[in-house]
Structure 1
């Protein structure tokens, strides 16, 4: 069922936001709802005698979700069991976030990812201690082990090494190959929406999305290639064609929001993925081009991109996927740039119901990188 912003708003306004929760099957409507009893049920249920002694919160960090660490101490049984001293949480505590995550169905999708998909993967992903979505209130909470001390989280100021870039291709292939053309896609085992359906629902839920993408384009015109700026009117039609291509191509599970800031770097330079809110069913090329064009500088992409695509295709074949034709793959990669670009023009100029999701410096740099790639690859002429 398609959810509207007004539905979410009405439920939120009637909600008691700090209502205490005490059982794991209750999704906290806010961080202030969390009690020691709830934490006991979530974290200590499998450790006889263990209990949370005390807990406190870090400052809240807002983006597409409301993020917060919880600091914990335990009784002797909990300490002896090595229960986590900190956990990292994502929630939909504010109205703006509840609307964005409810209308887009991304809160439910991320909970389903951690409960149904993550246990089947061998790629680096966060370990979830709790993942639940409430379809009545649209509240959700994901609680993960805190990785802050063990990994690095890159942003647009991070210059990746060639090895790290290659590991991105390896990680993506490890994920995509696991569910490539699987009969379980779209069933109760993998209950995710196809990318074209997700997109169509998003447009229904936010009918002014195209207009605000165009405003975002206008806001960064000075950072985009002149040829692309001159063809601004063609950008949205090409974006819709990019979405439609998924109906014609082989399917797998895709992350769908694999920009550089949703990766983490392990000490051995392997690359892991977090923030699985937009897990959908579609063609792998969206993930490949979204990740590489945001992660690499323009110069790196021009030098490495085709080699990385070859590595990705080789890894897919190694995992049992039938050999992918390189020319077909590169055409698909080029075309899928358009919806990746739209994700960041809307970030530059969000609609009224959307929260501010990223720093302006990040948004401008990613749009510059993707816009240059669209121009380099003649994407508007590729359909």
Structure 2
């Protein structure tokens, strides 16, 4: 009840602020300003945030084009510069993520995920040797919950194609995804300084607990089992009352074994493929500290068809462990890792039960077709491997 009251109060506060912004239409002009929407972006603001290292460069114009909406609204900026800016090769096409509406500020601002993603791109992305977008600028306002993120336009720079639940992930693509995850997890594996240097990256148990309380996850998971019962295997439906207990048990590995950096939302829709054929990972708003099997389990169960997952999952795990050993000097036990893989599936599933059924104060984060497809894949994997009993 307390969590529900806090959510309602935040919604009222955000609703009043958004109404004010739509009436007044404030513009961002100084570097410290946080545009309340893409329409608030001006050439002056872009000059301040993009041209700091090229003193003579000036943004002379900007055109805003809508792209898509979900937990954030996404837009493309077509930016023009003076001669100095053009000579410096400053980005002419930029991908933006922002929170201009009540529902997007509730999920990205109130929950803090937009701030985390912005800090990832400014503080951690430069330290990672993986295929992921470059961040040009990030800012957020804790009072209004507005946020802006300026990112590399991967379509313009690398001819990227973004995946979705209809994308067939081949063995080659799956192996490249696994290699990227191993590189990500290895970079800060077991680093005791990680929580000290980056305290804003929550441990996964804390991330899960706070998020589940704010969004009433257990309640909406029960509703989602009803709504998606036509795609959930019968053995899983029969064990539906054990799902929450399994989720709580699965948190223990994140506290008891070495932690590293996790993406935490590695479903197929957050992957892209460059024109050169490399798999890349975007949408870092769910970043957390935890055990690598959380990401591995989620990626394999959500990206692959059930038949391919059954054929490849052990080979992909062995590939991950081999690469992880090369990068860290540590080789986790295969059987223990496979057990963790099974245990962590429940947390992958809960990312989609709350997507299917949620508070009316939150946005529809994905289409129903996407959400049901993800629930079907992950719950099928859980049924195949009796994941709720391990």
TM-score, length of structure 2 as denominator length = 0.93
* Partner Cα separation in structure 2 for residue 121 and residue 76 of structure 1: 32
Give the CA deviation at 1:190. 5.4
Question: Structure 1 residue 116 and structure 2 residue 141: aligned?
Answer: no
Residue 277 (str. 1) matches residue 285 (str. 2): yes
**Is contact 1:4–1:103 with CA below 8 Å preserved after alignment?**
no
Measure, in 1, the Cα distance between the counterparts of 2:224 and 2:310.
25
Query: 2:96 touches 2:150 (CA, 8 Å); kept in 1?
Result: yes
Matched, 1:97 2:104: yes
Offset, 1:60: 5.0
Alignment of 1:1-383 (within 5 A): 4-5=6-7, 6-7=9-10, 9-11=12-14, 13-14=16-17, 16-17=20-21, 18-59=25-66, 61-149=68-156, 150-189=159-198, 191-206=200-215, 208-382=216-390
Alpha-carbon distance in structure 2 between the residues aligned to 1:356 and 1:379: 28
Displacement of 1:266 after TM fit? 2.0
* Whole-angstrom distance in 1 between the partners of 2:60 and 2:342: 54
How many angstroms does 1:249 deviate by? 2.1
CA distance in 2, matches of 1:39, 1:135: 21
Deviation, 1:44, is 2.0
Higher helix share: 2
Deviation (angstroms), 1:381: 0.8
3-state secondary structure, aligned to 2:177: helix
Higher mean C-alpha deviation, range 52-61 or range 176-185: 52-61
Q: Does structure 1 retain, via aligned residues, the 8 Å contact 2:70–2:364?
A: yes
Name the CA distance, whole Å, in 1 between partners of 2:203 and 2:368: 30
Output the aligned Cα RMSD.
Answer: 1.7
Structure 1 alignment gaps of length 5 or more: none
Structure 2, unpaired ranges of 5+: none
Match of 1:68, SS?
Answer: strand
CA distance in 2, matches of 1:123, 1:9: 40
SS at match of 1:25: coil
CA contact (8 A) 2:14 2:105 kept: no
Q: Show CA shifts across 1:305-363 (max 9, x none).
A: 11000010111100024110001101111111101101101111122221001111111
Corresponding residue SS for 1:142: strand
Return the alpha-carbon distance in structure 1 between the equivalents of residues 309 and 138 of structure 2: 36
Q: What secondary structure, in the 3-state scheme, does the structure 2 residue paired with 1:233 have? A: helix
Using the alignment, how far apart are the partners of 2:339 and 2:345 within structure 1?
10
TM-score (ref. length: structure 1)? 0.95
**How far apart are residue 214 of structure 1 and its match?**
1.5
